[in-house]
Amino acid sequence: MTAETNESASFSVAAKVKDYFQLIKFTLSFTVVFSCVVCYLLAPKVVEYDLGMIIVLFIAGMLVTGSANAINQAVEKDTDAMMKRTGKRPVANGRMKQQEAYVFALIAGILGVVMMWYFFNLSSALLSAFSLFLYAYIYTPLKKINSIAVLVGAFPGALPCLIGWVAGNDDFSAGGWILFGIQFLWQFPHFWAIAWVAHSDYSKAGFKLLPSDLGPTKFTALQAVMYSVLMIPVGILPYYFGLTGETSMWILIAANIAMVIQSLRLYRDMDVKAARRVMFSSYIYLPIVLLALLADKIK
């Protein structure tokens, strides 16, 4: 085999790996699994951090989330091809066959759920399977029918928090639902800001993701403000229920007020620049809040 052939083979493997990273939406999946792992570590029964179990949870979470994202891209290959932001995805671009994406999704989904069952418990495995189904088969097709898809999609978007809690605690106690609630509410200003910025692309593909049929309106901005305000009292609950200390409570209050301010600026300015500020603020918000809660966990 010549050096040129070796180089060509290496390039081919690297390109395929890159395609799979795009197929599972690695950055999005990493964010989702990050919240799952942090919520697992916040569970009262997880007293000592076992790196091996953390790695297993991360891998299982990436498999389940990656499976859901692969199904999403296989289903939406035609609409993805129509949009600038998604046109280069492997299935939409034709670099990967739809069948290959489905086969990967099936294997990854089953393996991820089985790992949750074997290494953690049945409850977390069933929640993982339910989250995958809800995202891939309910939320994904609903995006073209009605903007209620955002509400439906917020459930699988927040379930990783509950899955992590249940994996560590093996129960559905209040702490898990509080963590679920924090991430559930966060998704509305976060996703509507994204939908505002990408409105023309989404409209071209026939997606209905903003609260108003008229597109980016005062009503949409007001919805972002409303959910940001709701995040403030929910952010106090980890302290109130004795999950975390007072320091993290003030960090959460400050972070939530910052989200309210950015959403109010969107309501005032009504432009893409303001929507981007909400979007980037929401990206920063989640790791700050989750890490603050973890650092301030009451053991």
* Inter-residue contact 104 to 70 (CB < 8 Å): yes
* Inter-residue contact 23 to 90 (CB < 8 Å): yes
Lowest mean pLDDT segment, chosen from 25-29, 207-211, 286-290: 207-211
> In the chain, which ranges are E strands?
none
pLDDT tops 60 at residue 32:
yes
* Inter-residue contact 216 to 167 (CB < 8 Å): no
pLDDT tops 60 at residue 191:
yes
* Res. 198 pLDDT band, cuts 50 70 90: confident
pLDDT tops 60 at residue 8:
no
- Domains of the chain by residue range: 12-171, 173-299
Q: Per-residue pLDDT tens for 210-269?
A: 887 777 889 999 999 999 999 999 999 999 999 999 999 999 999 999 999 999 999 999
Three-state DSSP at 254 gives: helix
* Inter-residue contact 149 to 142 (CB < 8 Å): yes
> Do 173-299 and 12-171 have the same topology in CATH?
no
Q: Per-residue pLDDT tens for 135-150?
A: 999 999 998 888 889 9
Q: In the prediction, which pLDDT does 163 show?
A: 97
CATH fold label, 12-171 = Tetracycline Repressor; domain 2 (1.10.357)
* Res. 13 pLDDT band, cuts 50 70 90: confident
Q: Is the pTM of this model over 0.95?
A: no
Q: In the prediction, which pLDDT does 211 show?
A: 82
Q: In the prediction, which pLDDT does 86 show?
A: 83
What average pLDDT does range 14-20 have in this prediction?
87
CATH code reported for the domain at 173-299? 1.20.120
* Res. 52 pLDDT band, cuts 50 70 90: very high
